[in-house]
């Protein structure tokens, strides 16, 4: 378990000019605001600033204890604005000595373990494609779109964001992970009591995201050779394209 030291600084990367960019940038903005509200210094790289050279320079200059990134990803890559590659399994040494949260598909499968292998102190991410749902009247790529304003999207984003929010409230990483897991469960219980016609789909999606979240704080054995499915959730939700829209971050995004 890891505690955030007093006076810790945070560098972020929030993609905007990508598919679903409005929800990505503005969903992650809630994490940034939580850090500021709790007295942390944040060096926030959003939109055109969320690219490799600027993010790496920000880390080198500001020496943050925490790196938080929100954008598209794969097993080996984390990207920023316009899918600019920020970290890969071959280029992540700069995260040594840091606590890392990549809110990004699949990065927990290979990239996360590699970050720890190269000296990262803690990593939280997802081993499959993280997903959320929106009403079909919502455009998550709208630069002004905030997932917290959508009754279907908010449970997913608020749950995922809880990990960082808990850290900023003074929790150590294991406790923050537990509180994040519990936030998913709180929303699942809420939707169990709902008569919304899409409640079952929301519950299934939340349980899926909850169970693909991993916290890594020591080097792991070499992962299995089988690559996770890219679109594992689509078959679970037969109403796709009718009343809800599934949003996922994967290789084809």
Beta bridge partners of 125: 214
- Which spans in 111-244 are helix H? 111-117, 154-168, 173-192, 199-211
The model's pTM is: 0.88
Query: What per-residue confidence (pLDDT) applies to 242?
Result: 33
What integer pLDDT is reported at residue 212 of this predicted model?
Answer: 94
Q: Does position 67 have pLDDT exceeding 50, yes or no?
A: yes
Q: What is the pLDDT of residue 103?
A: 97
Q: How many Å apart are CA 62 and CA 143, to the nearest integer? A: 28
Mean pLDDT of 45-70: 98
pLDDT at residue 246, rounded to an integer: 52
Assess whether pLDDT exceeds 60 at residue 252.
Answer: no
pLDDT in tens, 195-209: 999 999 999 999 999
Whole-Å CA distances, 251 to 1, 73, 105, 212: 31, 7, 9, 17
Question: Is a pLDDT exceeding 80 seen at residue 241?
Answer: no
pLDDT single digits (tens) 162-180 = 999 999 999 999 999 999 9
Question: What pairs with residue 245 in β-bridges?
Answer: 134
d(CA 43, CA 94): 16
Residue 247: pLDDT band (50, 70, 90) is low
Of the candidates 52, 165, 170, 184, which has an alpha carbon nearest to the alpha carbon of residue 126?
A: 184
Q: What pLDDT, in 10s, does the model give residues 81-113?
A: 999 999 999 999 999 999 999 999 999 999 999
Per-residue pLDDT, averaged over 25-52, amounts to 97
What are the chain's domains? 9-248 (3.40.50.1460)
Provide the pairing of β-strand 9-14 with 66-70: parallel
In DSSP terms, 65 is beta-bridged to none
CB 217 within 8 A of CB 123: yes
Q: What is the pLDDT of residue 250?
A: 54
- In whole numbers, what is the pLDDT of the chain averaged over residues? 88
The residue with greater pLDDT, 226 or 183, is 183
Contacts of 111 (CB under 8 A, 6+ apart): 73, 75, 76, 77, 78, 87, 88, 89, 92, 102, 125
pLDDT band at 243; cut points 50, 70, 90: very low
Q: So what's the pLDDT on residue 5?
A: 86
Spatial contact of 16 and 47, defined as CB atoms under 8 Å apart: yes
Distance CA 4, CA 8 (A): 7
User: Is the pLDDT at 253 greater than 50, yes or no?
Assistant: no
Q: How confident is the model at residue 1 (pLDDT cuts 50, 70, 90)?
A: confident
Q: Distance between CA 166 and CA 132 in Å, rounded? A: 21
**What average pLDDT does range 70-85 have in this prediction?**
96
- Rounded CA-CA distance 25/143 in Å is 8
For residue 95 the two structure tokens come to 């995260």
């Amino acid at each position: 378990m890891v505690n955030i030291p007093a006076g810790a600084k945070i560098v972020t990367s929030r993609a905007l000019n990508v598919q679903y960019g409005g929800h990505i940038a503005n969903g992650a903005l809630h994490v940034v605001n939580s850090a500021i509200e709790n007295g942390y210094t944040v060096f926030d790289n959003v939109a055109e600033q969320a690219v490799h050279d600027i993010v790496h320079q920000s880390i080198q200059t500001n020496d943050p204890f925490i790196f938080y990134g929100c954008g598209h990803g794969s097993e080996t890559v984390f990207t920023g604005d316009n899918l600019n590659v920020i970290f890969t399994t071959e280029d992540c040494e700069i995260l040594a000595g840091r606590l890392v949260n990549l809110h990004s598909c699949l990065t927990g499968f290979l990239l996360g373990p590699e970050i720890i292998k190269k000296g990262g102190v803690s990593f939280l991410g997802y081993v499959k494609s993280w997903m959320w749902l929106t009403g079909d009247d919502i455009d998550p790529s709208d630069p002004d779109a905030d997932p917290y304003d959508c009754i279907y999207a908010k449970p997913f984003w608020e749950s995922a964001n809880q990990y960082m929010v808990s850290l900023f409230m003074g929790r150590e990483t294991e406790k923050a992970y537990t509180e994040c897991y519990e936030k998913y469960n709180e929303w699942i219980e809420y939707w169990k009591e709902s008569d919304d016609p899409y409640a079952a789909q929301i519950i299934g999606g939340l349980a899926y995201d909850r169970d693909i979240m991993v916290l890594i704080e020591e080097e792991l054995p070499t992962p299995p050779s089988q690559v996770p499915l890219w679109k594992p959730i689509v078959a679970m939700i037969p109403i796709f394209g009718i009343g809800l829209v599934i949003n996922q971050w994967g290789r084809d995004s």
